[in-house]
Amino acid sequence: MRKIPPLHISLFASACASLLLAACSHAPTTPAAAPAPSTVVVPAEVSTAPSTVILVSVDGLRATTIGTGVMPTVDAIAASGVHAAWLTPSYPTQTFPNHYTLVTGLRPDHHGIVHNHMRDAVLGNFVSKGTSALDGRWWGGEPIWVTLQKQGGIAATMFWPGSEAEIAGQRPRYYMTYNKQMPANARVDKVLAWLDLPAAQRPGLVTLYFENYDVAAHATGADSEESINALKTVDVALARLRDGLHSRGLDASTDLIVVSDHGMITVRSEDVRYLDDLVPANSIQVIHTGPLAGLNPKRGHVQQVEKVLLGRHDHYECWRKQDLPARWQYGHNPRVPAILCQADPGWRVVMHGMPESTQRSGEHSYAPEAPEMRATFVATGPDFIDGTQLPAFDNVEVYPLLARLLHITPAANDGSVDPLLPALRDASP
């Protein structure tokens, strides 16, 4: 269930703590009263507050890639900074649901982006790569850029699912229309250009997103040469980012966090099962297929479809949405179809006549507890204790972490910063 975390200390309050000013003991901690990080004047010698938090996502980056040498820049952050054993994705292990969980701290059931492909009784169809994703009515909760800007800060998004939609009345001050063709290095240069803005316009939070690995892995497999090259391309861009921060003297005032949304697994075209081998195609409305199939039995066919589909099958299992395993915390949102069929790692549940769903060589959308779905968390910067190895934690904890690093009060969310406290210099409750 959703829980509301305790209010976090504002920048003003933490600056007061640093200065040990008794007069600050009544420092405001309400969202409306919290001052903008970039406008608070704190003497440099006593300030511990970073001026920037950069959140990077490498789509599909498996936890097991870290430390293998494929991504030396990410490896270096992991070795010298903070490294979690892994980041457990939320269900379903898809790009849009998990990216939005990372920036809201809400499970997909709670923020409403329950799948890359959804159907809503009022809004119609949602397609992650379509214009529907620009409609703010799909996006519930409060992304970190809104939380920051409501409290006086400035946010910039170099791509992130949800960043182009107006949510809770606003967009990031700086955002980009998603363009898959924009080279990784150019994305980094845009981030650095934002950091070069005059102080009053400079963002305190920047997101940066790379799809290179996800795209290559779907097309050619999780460990193909193309996929490894995609990881290397992203790593070169991250090296450029670190160099850019260093040459600007920003290392000491920038928290850099690298995460992923889910992992990746190589699949074989023959490892598929067909829903319409069990039920007539015209008895179901199929919302999505693949590692996770979702469908609604058509009127008059509910009993027949449920009788045949519900339960364990060869390499997959189907449930009524309300009966899904409780650990997945999923299935109560009206946008989730009535029946879900989750394939075992490596398998897919599809329909005859939908060849595109079996042509991929790499997949995610498997159960979050599958080791191959484990996502990545590494971080470095002034707020982190160097050389900290953390046990795995859930990706709902990232939003409360970001709020803490930004010295703002988080909106209600499903996470807690507690699992991160051993890695933070200021671990005060």
Q: Which of 95, 101, 157, 207 is catalytic?
A: 95
Other Cβ atoms closer than 10 A to 288: 21
CA angle 206, 93, 165 (to 5 degrees): 40
Annotated active-site residue 358? The verdict is no
289 exposure class (CB count in 10 Å sphere: 0-12, 13-18, 19+) = buried
Would you count residue 129 as binding ligand AMP (CB under 6 A)? yes
Tell me how far, at minimum, the Cβ of 74 lies from ligand AMP, in Å.
Answer: 19
Per-residue mark of binding to Zn ion, 94-133 (x: CB under 5 A): -x--------------------------------------
Tell me how far, at minimum, the Cβ of 184 lies from Zn ion, in Å.
Answer: 16
CB 357 within 8 A of CB 348: yes
Per-residue mark of binding to Zn ion, 233-262 (x: CB under 5 A): ----------------------------x-
Would you count residue 176 as binding ligand AMP (CB under 6 A)? no
Would you count residue 161 as binding ligand AMP (CB under 6 A)? yes
The label of the residue with tokens 């990080």 reads 37
Using DSSP, how many helices (H) and how many strands (E) does the chain show? 10, 21
Would you count residue 178 as binding ligand AMP (CB under 6 A)? yes
Would you count residue 365 as binding Zn ion (CB under 5 A)? no
Q: How many residues does this entry show for the chain?
A: 429
> Which of the ranges 43-51, 211-219, 271-279, 419-427 carries the binding residues for ligand AMP, by CB under 6 A?
211-219
Element (H, E) at 362: strand 362-363
The tokens of 6 are what? Answer: 């305790």
Report in angstroms the alpha-carbon separations of 390 from 85, 120, 199, 267, 349.
Answer: 6, 39, 34, 30, 35
What span, in angstroms and rounded, lies between the C-alpha atoms of 35 and 37? 6
Other Cβ atoms closer than 10 A to 359: 10
Cβ nearer to ligand AMP, comparing 12 with 213: 213
Among 79, 123, 182, 215, binds ligand AMP (CB under 6 A): 215
> Which of the ranges 28-36, 191-199, 207-215, 377-385 carries the binding residues for Zn ion, by CB under 5 A?
207-215
Would you count residue 214 as binding ligand AMP (CB under 6 A)? yes
* Residue 37: closest CA among 9, 12, 8, 7: 12
Cβ nearer to Zn ion, comparing 92 with 415: 92
Would you count residue 95 as binding ligand AMP (CB under 6 A)? yes
Q: Which residue has the CB atom at the shortest distance from ligand AMP?
A: 95
The three-class DSSP label of residue 40 is: coil
The label of the residue with tokens 């297929």 reads 289
Would you count residue 108 as binding ligand AMP (CB under 6 A)? no
What span, in angstroms and rounded, lies between the C-alpha atoms of 185 and 207? 14
Would you count residue 116 as binding ligand AMP (CB under 6 A)? yes
Q: Applying CB under 5 A, which residues contact Zn ion?
A: 59, 95, 214, 261
Q: Applying CB under 6 A, which residues contact ligand AMP?
A: 59, 94-95, 116, 128-129, 133, 159, 161, 178, 180, 209, 211, 214-215
Please identify every residue annotated as catalytic. Answer: 95
